[in-house]
Chains A and B, each alone.
Chain A
Amino acid sequence: MEDKMRRVFDEYRALSDEILKPDEPKKERFIQAFKKMLSREENWTFWLPLLTSLDLCVKCNTCAEACPFYVASGRKEIYHPVYRSDLLRRIYKKHFTLTGKIFGGLVGAKDVSEEDINALAESAYRCSVCRRCAYVCPIGVDNGLITRETRKILYELGIAPDEIYHKGTLYQKEYGNATKTPSEAFLNTLEFIKEDLEDEKGIEVEIPVDKVGADYLVINNAGDYYAFLDTIIGQVEVLNAAGLDWTYNTPIENGTNDVVNYGLFFSDKELTDIGRLHLEVVKKLKPKTVVVGECGHAYEALKFLYKDIYPEWRNVRVISVLELFDELIRTGKIKVDPEKNPMPVTYHDPCKLGRLGGLYDEPRRILNAVCKDFREMEPNRDMSVCCGGGGGFAIMHKDDFMTFRMETYGKIKANQIRETGAEIVALACSNCKGQFREIINWHKLDVEWKGIAELIANALVYE
């Protein structure tokens, strides 16, 4: 049995002892790394949001009610979003502001101990950066961003969860995907999909790979080919039914066939490195449009972030597979019959696709078209509550971290699902799928989850 790790903040641990090294001094390095984050040249990517978020909070408490983790924890003080931000803010004031140096604690400035740094590091992984707090803030302070910037500082010290760093971005850079899947195995999976569709549905499909100049280059989360294969099968069926000119890709040389970019969760350097792999693929395959599979954070990275990191990316048209599916249905390129999905279906708005991506109407148009009984989960759209899989959490499970995921965010979502009376939860994001898979088991919900592509494929009408 695994030994319990030393508690440094609360009863959970997101960072292993090997990575956090809780007994090793790191305060000075932390402050140096923080200084770098406060440099407009070194941290141009988020300098303005960081500075305004550190400087402008009026402590009005509006964010408290919006934070699912804080509310679900029973309002534990240490989980208050401002308490978490203040762990960093007090260092900022103490070391980097004149008022903090003069007035100290009166203005919230306070020096930190080594133990405080350990606590801060763990605390940065109790927030999924869903930015619901930022959405409601009357001033525009972004506690989620402060969490992410804290993670960036920790990354400078080599501290990041191994699931998203060592086994995430580093694998993706070395193997072309975070699942370490060689091209041959990937192609075998595609062969399996072809055979499955032929055997199960009697449908013959083509799965183009590495086609140059296709209308649509579809890139999925590589983990979907293992964990959520039904979504991929549905996607292949829909794309074929529509008769599109499309392609998947192998990692190609210096590229990736994995749409994830876990750098988004903890490091601009990793974000940039993975972005370069995506850019390489686009340069070689020259698609007219890049389609991001059912993956929320990847949509944010490819759609919104890369264009200001890589000028070449500004010429790349990026859409979510939801936008493509929505267009196929609306233009009649595929025919669907909602009677084929007669069970009540609800939808969870992934934070990265909804609040951070603006895709609210597309999934609803799709689900209303392909399901007989679509029901809204409350709250939804811009006020949707994070499932707890965001920010990298969906693949983090060491120590008691799963309890944290399930008994806080997960508990809220379980109740929301029950209230809908739905039998199916439609999900459009891999991290959400990973989280809901666990929520359904943990909270013994009598529902199943399905990817959007699965529901569309199930509703397809062939003429």
Chain B
Amino acid sequence: MTAARHLRLSLAIVALFLAMGVGLEAMLGLRVRAWFDDPLRRELLRLGHAHGALLGLVNVALGWAMERLSTPPPWATRIRLAALLGAVAVGLGFVGGGLWHAPTDPGPLVLLVPAGALLMVSSLVAVVLLPPRDAEPGPKS
């Protein structure tokens, strides 16, 4: 995955989950009962909105950081994919777990959240620990 595509998709995720926030505001204003009278669903949709938007921004920052830190391209491709998947899994895991939830607990889709979190953490740690491509043997510029 190229840096440009990562940036576009990251911003798309931010846009998607911010737009969801507008939807939540509208449901609050219109007192939509399926949302307003269901505290568990309300909480999980809020968590999905906040996490999705924030992790989209984290992806933007990650792309910028990889450029600054000269993360080796083969790693960078996989890191971008993992981070994007992580952001989407966390956001949609909360949303799905809230939309189809059990009587007292989130629905099974919430199990995507830890998976997404692991993808995000792995990506960030890899960017932190990987030496820059300039560090490979050969003449330095």
Interaction A to B: no
Question: Measuring CB to CB, which residues of chain A are less than 8 angstroms from any residue of chain B?
Answer: none
